[in-house]
Amino acid sequence: MQAETNAQLRLARRPNGEAVADDFELTQDAIPRPEEGEVLVRAHYLSVDPSARTHWNDGSSYRAMVQLGEVIDVPVAGEVVESRHPDFAVGELAAGQMGLHEYGVAPGSALTRVDLDIAPLSSWLGGLGLTGLTAYFGLLEVGDPQPGETVVVTAASGAVGMVVGQIARIKGARAVGIAGSPEKCRFLTEELGFDAAVNYKSDDLYRDLRAATPERIDVIFDNVGGPLLDTLIRRLAIHGRIVVSGATSQYNQDVIYGPTNYLALATMRARMEGFIIFDFEDRYAEARADMAAWIRAGSLKLRENVVAGELADYPQVLHRLYQGENMGKMLIRLPAGR
Ligand SMILES: NC(=O)c1ccc[n+]([C@@H]2O[C@H](COP(=O)([O-])OP(=O)(O)OC[C@H]3O[C@@H](n4cnc5c(N)ncnc54)[C@H](OP(=O)(O)O)[C@@H]3O)[C@@H](O)[C@H]2O)c1
């Protein structure tokens, strides 16, 4: 039975530093009807991403900024309730960038069909969603790890990081994770099979990093930026590669802290290269096929950190992400969720 109205969360003002509840407004309007080629989806899970914050500033980025009064634009997964696209039938499950609506409409061509035989619905926003794809293409296409090389990944117990380390191992590299607590480090080595993990809150991070990377670091997959990246650059090997995935430690700052020791790139004949996942859109199916095979083989484990909540809980769950209170992909499961 469909609700009479549709709730959505909109940007009410531009956040100053970290976003707070008053930066958003919960509104209600009529449930939209899909046009030809579109699909109406009832949201079950909302993706909580640190990069969402970067689209609420006044300025420009690789994607359009969310304007005041606009609905917050994040990936969502849920059930098809009306379809005018031949690939989607009512009752099927779909995922895509539908934004913080209870009922969202999107072109069928922009949605992913969910196959529960591969992984549960929630994983289609995590390992099989944009964060897993970011790990796959960032590591394999930019980092290009070779067997026997050492890959170090920051925010390693998070959505992107946990997949990076596991793919590094699948490709025969040594995976070292950097995370913010002993519990997260144990999760990486004992549950996900990382070769080593380092707590960056240690009283001597460089000492611990050196012990975990005796052959130095061939690939740094960086999700965090800031002073942590500076420390990692000191351990770079000759011809090392730094993959710039993101900089979660900087997203709430007015002034971004950049690496002070970049001359190590010259000394080590190294390179630093960024990427945006959307550039690989035409290859998502190929990546998901590989990942599905690895899941079946037991070499890739996905984990979600699911919080039961409502649309209006988005800012405080995002805050928990910035506090490092997640292990795995952070999601909100709405009351409709299964
Ligand atoms: N390039 C692309 O196309 C692309 C696409 C998607 C995502 N990304 C980037 O990938 C990165 C990871 O995203 P995710 O969704 O997987 O998030 P996540 O890692 O699941 O969650 C964020 C984690 O970052 C760490 N963190 C938070 N604040 C921090 C701080 N001030 N200093 C150091 N660490 C901090 C916390 O882990 P600890 O407890 O370990 O500190 C937290 O668990 C983000 O930078 C995101 O922008 C890039």
> Quick one: pLDDT at residue 338?
73
Per-residue pLDDT of the chain (338 residues; tens, 9 = 90+): 456 799 999 999 999 999 999 999 999 999 999 999 999 999 999 999 999 998 998 877 777 889 999 999 999 999 999 999 999 999 999 999 999 999 999 999 999 999 999 999 999 999 999 999 999 999 999 999 999 999 999 999 999 999 999 999 999 999 999 999 999 999 999 999 999 999 999 999 999 999 999 999 999 999 999 999 999 999 999 999 999 999 999 999 989 999 999 999 999 999 999 999 999 999 999 999 999 999 999 999 999 999 999 999 999 999 999 999 999 999 999 999 87
Kindly write down the DSSP assignment for every residue of 306-330, as one continuous string: EEE--GGGHHHHHHHHHTT--SBEE
pLDDT at 316: 96
pLDDT score for 4: 79
In a domain, 292, yes or no: no
Give distance in angstroms: CA of 129 to centre of ligand 1.
15
Question: Is there a domain that residue 291 lies in?
Answer: no
Q: Assess whether 134 and 201 both reside in one domain.
A: yes
CATH number at residue 110: 3.90.180.10
- Residues 8 and 19: their CA atoms lie apart, in Å, by 17
Confidence (pTM): 0.96
**Residue 100 domain flag:** yes
Contact indicator for 93, 78 with CB cutoff of 8 Å: yes
Pocket residues for ligand 1 (CB within 6 Å)?
A: 49-51, 130-131, 134, 155, 157-161, 179-180, 184, 223-224, 245-249, 275-277, 321-322, 324, 326, 330
Q: What is the pLDDT of residue 92?
A: 97
Distance 243 CA to ligand 1 centre (A): 14
Same domain, residue pair 75 and 117: yes
3-state secondary structure (DSSP) of residue 229 = helix
Same domain, 23 and 48: yes
The domain boundary residue, chosen from 246, 262, 278? 278
By CB atoms closer than 10 A (0-12, 13-18, 19+), residue 217 is buried
Q: Is the dihedral of CA 172, 302, 128, 246 positive or negative?
A: negative
How many domains does one find in the chain? Answer: 2
Q: Nearest-CA neighbor of 125 among 77, 160, 72?
A: 77
Instruction: Determine the pLDDT at residue 299.
Output: 97
- Indicate which CATH number applies to the domain containing 139: 3.40.50.720
Give, in order, the Cα–Cα distances in Å from 239 to each of 149, 165, 175, 232.
11, 20, 18, 15
- Give the pLDDT of residue 191: 98
Of all atoms in ligand 1, which is nearest to the CA of residue 328? 20
**103 and 198 inside one domain:** no
* Distances, alpha carbon 283 to alpha carbons 11, 34, 95, 114, 138, in Å: 32, 27, 17, 17, 13
Instruction: Report the alpha-carbon distance of residue 90 to residue 67 in Å, rounded.
Output: 32
CA neighbours closer than 13 Å in the CB half-sphere of residue 108? 20
* 255 in the same domain as 173: yes
In this structure, are 135 and 274 located in the same domain? Answer: yes
- Report the distance separating Cα 87 and Cα 98, nearest Å: 17
The burial of 31, by beta-carbon neighbours within 10 Å (0-12 exposed, 13-18 middle, 19 or more buried), is given as middle
Query: How far lies 114's CA from each of 66, 159, 290, in Å?
Result: 27, 19, 16
- Residue 216 falls inside a structural domain: yes
Both 98 and 14 in one domain: the answer is yes
Q: Flag whether 149 is in a domain.
A: yes
Q: Are residues 151 and 79 in the same domain?
A: no
Distance CA 156, CA 178 (A): 5
Number of H helices, E strands in the chain: 8, 15
CA–centroid distance, 184 to ligand 1, in Å, is: 14
pLDDT of residue 2: 56
Write out the two tokens for 180.
């913010």
Q: In the prediction, which pLDDT does 3 show?
A: 60
Locate the ligand 1 atom nearest the alpha carbon of residue 154 and give its number. 40
Domain assignment of residue 24, given as a range: 5-126+302-333
| 198 inside domain | yes
Q: Which of 98, 79, 90, 89 is nearest to 41 (CA)?
A: 79
The residue whose C-alpha atom lies closest to atom 31 belonging to ligand 1 is 249
Question: Is residue 69 located within the same domain as residue 175?
Answer: no
Structural domain contains residue 289: no
116 and 143 housed in the same domain: no
> How many residues in the chain?
338
Is 286 inside any structural domain?
no
Do 105 and 19 fall within a single domain?
Answer: yes
Query: 297: how many CB neighbours lie within 10 A of its CB?
Result: 9
Q: Indicate whether 11 and 97 sit together in one domain.
A: yes
Nearest CA to ligand 1 atom 27: 322
The angle, 0 to 180 degrees and rounded to 10, between the axes of the packed helices 226-233 and 205-212 is: 50
